[in-house]
Amino acid sequence: AAAAAAAAAERELDPVTCFLLSTYDDVRVSDDELREKDAIMNLLKHVVHSVRPEADIVAFGSIQSGLALKNSDIDACILLPDIGEEMEEFASECFERFTALGFEGKYLRKARIPIIKLLSDTKNRYYYGFQCDIGFNNQLAIYNTSLLHQYSLIDPRCKQLAILVKYWAKQKRINSPYYGTLSSYGYVLMVLFYLIHVVRPAVLPNLQDSPHKQDLYVEGFNVGFVRGTTVARRNTESLPQLLAGFYGFFAHEFNYRESVISIRQPGGLLKKVDKDWTLAKEHTGSADQVIKDRYVLAIEDPFEITHNVGRTVSKAGLFEIRGEFMQATRLLNAATLHSTSAIRKLRA
């Protein structure tokens, strides 16, 4: 116990930990902002109910998983099962009522499944950055959001790492799925992969690989995972150690050419050849556009296991991403080395 207390004290003093924790506090969403976003969601809920009492709207993505940065978008989804042909009419009715309330935005009807984008607000003058993407009946996104949320509750370091990595990726401009790099969701899955399958002892258990999980099938995929348990942590690494380990692993150890990042797979090991994820495939998207699914960076969605979350990453994009992983590893190792020797000198 004395040794653990000494280690904790050393960690508290460690300037790199202090720096990372204060950055984390600066960049993550505040409770105030979350309350505002909650109020917006209630307003939208009211509208959706008034169009169809049996419809509902729920948030998913980072606002809901707890992994949001400041001024984060709201990802939302209207739930109205078995709507079929009437979808278009229902969606445009919702959009009209949102506009009447003072929201400005776009209704993208070209897509087979409509999308509403609310870009600004003229009446309520929200304090925080406002943008809201609304999709329809996207049940799997709601389930994967709650999986991410469940992981973030197990250990505070999980949430800290995920938010720091998301922030770093945005700063480095390697978080642009439309321009060949990776979505935030992809980076969070990489962090979880490291904490579940790479670092030893593990920081997180695999919530999809447990006798206590209850199977549940949604859209043909098993979305079961263990809910509501907290698991004893044996890993005592500090935040800088975990972050440096994460960057180092994806800079120098992970085999991008052959392997698939999979958080649900026991052991985490999957090969591209085994999933037939080798050659890029073209298919037609919901707005009849041609989409190229690449497998340069292979990240299996935890539930929709046929879906590569890294499909947006091009060869050039991966080159950039790995370059940033290497740079981050160097900087973090240098900072840790200097600060440790500085602390030792202080104490001597």
Q: How far is the CB of 144 from ligand GTP (least distance, A)?
A: 4
212 vs 292, beta carbon nearer ligand GTP: 292
Compute the 3-state secondary structure of the chain and give helix, strand, coil in percent, each to the nearest 5.
50, 15, 35
The pair of three-digit structure tokens given for residue 93, joined into one six-digit string: 């009715």
Positions in 61-100 near Mg ion (CB under 5 A) = 61-62, 73, 75
Most distant CA pair in the chain: distance in Å?
75
The pair of three-digit structure tokens given for residue 324, joined into one six-digit string: 């940033």
75 vs 324, beta carbon nearer ligand GTP: 75
141 binds, among Mg ion, ligand GTP, none (CB under 5 to 8 A by kind): ligand GTP
Binding of Mg ion at residue 33 (CB under 5 A)? no
**Residues near ligand GTP (CB under 6 A), total:** 17
Q: How far is the CB of 10 from ligand GTP (least distance, A)?
A: 33
183 binds, among ligand GTP, Mg ion, none (CB under 5 to 8 A by kind): ligand GTP
Report phi then psi at 2, rounded to 5. -65, -40
3 state DSSP class of 275: helix
The pair of three-digit structure tokens given for residue 332, joined into one six-digit string: 């973090």
d(CA 73, CA 83): 27
Positions in 36-95 near ligand GTP (CB under 6 A) = 60-62, 67-69, 72-73, 75
Task: Give the containing element (helix H, strand E) for 76.
Answer: strand 74-79
Q: How far is the CB of 228 from ligand GTP (least distance, A)?
A: 20
Q: How far is the CB of 169 from ligand GTP (least distance, A)?
A: 9
Q: Comparing C-alpha atoms, which of 179, 145, 144, 184 is closest to residue 163? A: 184
262 binds, among Mg ion, ligand GTP, none (CB under 5 to 8 A by kind): none
Angle at the Cα of 284 from the Cα atoms of 278 and 289, rounded to 5 degrees = 120
Cβ-based neighbours of 111, under 8 Å, separated by 6 or more: 285, 286, 287
CB 159: neighbour CB atoms within 10 A?
21
Q: How far is the CB of 64 from Mg ion (least distance, A)?
A: 9
Positions in 178-197 near ligand GTP (CB under 6 A) = 183-185
d(CA 320, CA 141): 28
Q: How far is the CB of 332 from ligand GTP (least distance, A)?
A: 22
d(CA 255, CA 247): 14
Positions in 275-304 near ligand GTP (CB under 6 A) = 301
Instruction: List residues near Mg ion by CB under 5 A.
Output: 61-62, 73, 75
Instruction: List residues near ligand GTP by CB under 6 A.
Output: 60-62, 67-69, 72-73, 75, 141, 144-145, 183-185, 301, 309
